[in-house]
């Protein structure tokens, strides 16, 4: 019997014309948790879930899935995703380039606070 592990899988979804400004698209990064025998199996499950998700919100699943095998069981304080990127940018420019561009919907695209 193949041993299963916990995997977090990041997928990207596009919502046409759903950005803050007219004509802008909105993009959502989703991280979902899966118990699977391999990274590939977890990605397949995540992509199936994402395909169902976009039917409800009229979106498009983009061609990118990244998985991360958890070292520990999911629980309080457990690391659920990690992506390491090499860069020569300063810490401030790195944050501005990838995480705080000003175009983020910080409270969530469909949150009650929006």
Residue with more model confidence, 31 or 25: 31
Q: What is the pLDDT of residue 86?
A: 86
In angstroms, the Cα distances linking 60 to 25, 33, 68 are: 11, 20, 23
pTM: 0.77
Q: What is the pLDDT of residue 50?
A: 95
- Band the pLDDT of 32: cuts 50, 70, 90: very high
Q: Which of 19, 27, 91 is nearest to 54 (CA)?
A: 27
Domain boundaries along the sequence of the chain? 5-72+80-98
């Amino acid at each position: 019997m193949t041993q299963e592990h916990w995997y977090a899988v990041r997928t990207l979804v596009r919502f046409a014309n759903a950005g803050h400004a007219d004509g802008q698209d909105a993009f959502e990064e989703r991280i979902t948790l899966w118990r699977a025998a391999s990274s590939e199996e977890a990605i397949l499950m995540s992509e199936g879930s994402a395909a169902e998700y976009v039917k409800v919100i009229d979106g498009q699943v983009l061609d990118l899935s990244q998985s991360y095998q958890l070292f520990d069981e999911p629980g309080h304080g457990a690391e659920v995703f990690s992506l390491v990127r090499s860069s020569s940018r300063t810490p401030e420019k790195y944050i501005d380039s990838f995480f705080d561009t000003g175009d983020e919907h910080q409270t969530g695209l469909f949150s009650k606070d929006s």
